[in-house]
Amino acid sequence: MMADIPQIKDACASLGIGKMYPLLAAMLTSRPFDEIVERSRTGALEAGSGGGGGSDAGSSGDKEMIRGYAQKFIVDILQLLDAVPRQMLLSFKMNDCLRHIDYSLGSPSNTLVTAGTFAAKAVYDAERQQGRDKSRVKRIRDWLSYKKLMLRISAYEWLCWLRRRRGA
């Protein structure tokens, strides 16, 4: 959703899968990495055919593309799954379950927004728990960072809603 390549690289390095960052980003968003790079370059919230991952990744062309990438990169995917912390596997499964529920219900919700919201809250809560020893400035910086991220997620959700309303 944010398409911040340096931040994606840093996060993947902290997970111990630094060189596999393109694959992880593609798996989480169900978008090809070149689309993620394009969004990073342009600063757009969406790009490409289906736009933005989430529930939009449901067209037959997107499904074929994802199926083709999964077949092509199956060995790399298995290596990545073996390398990530076990908690990350739960995130993958949650993302998969949210997409399936969304598809089954025909709901217009964006699973990337849902997952991003809960992940941001969990990270902020964990930082707050660890932050008891942090300076007041660092705690304020963490809070502002969290609020900025939540604002971006809300703006993205609002833009998706607006696009659906225009199409209806």
- Tell me the per-residue pLDDT of 111-134, one tens digit each, with 9 for 90 and over: 677 778 888 888 888 888 877 777
Query: What's the pLDDT at 38?
Result: 73
64-94, pLDDT tens digit by residue? 877 888 888 899 889 988 988 888 888 888 8
pTM summary value: 0.56
Query: What's the pLDDT at 39?
Result: 66
Instruction: Please state the rounded mean pLDDT for residues 104-108.
Output: 72
Instruction: Please state the rounded mean pLDDT for residues 57-63.
Output: 65
Most confident listed range (40-44, 97-101, 123-127): 123-127
* C-alpha to C-alpha distance for 77 and 49, rounded to whole angstroms: 23
* C-alpha to C-alpha distance for 126 and 107, rounded to whole angstroms: 31
Query: What's the pLDDT at 88?
Result: 81
* Mean pLDDT lowest among 23-27, 39-43, 113-117: 39-43
132-168, pLDDT tens digit by residue? 777 888 888 889 999 998 998 888 888 878 877 887 5
Residue reference for tokens 């609020």: 147
* C-alpha to C-alpha distance for 6 and 12, rounded to whole angstroms: 10
**Of residues 3 and 45, which shows the higher confidence score?**
3
Query: What's the pLDDT at 52?
Result: 41
Instruction: Please state the rounded mean pLDDT for residues 35-39.
Output: 72
Tokens of 150: 């939540």
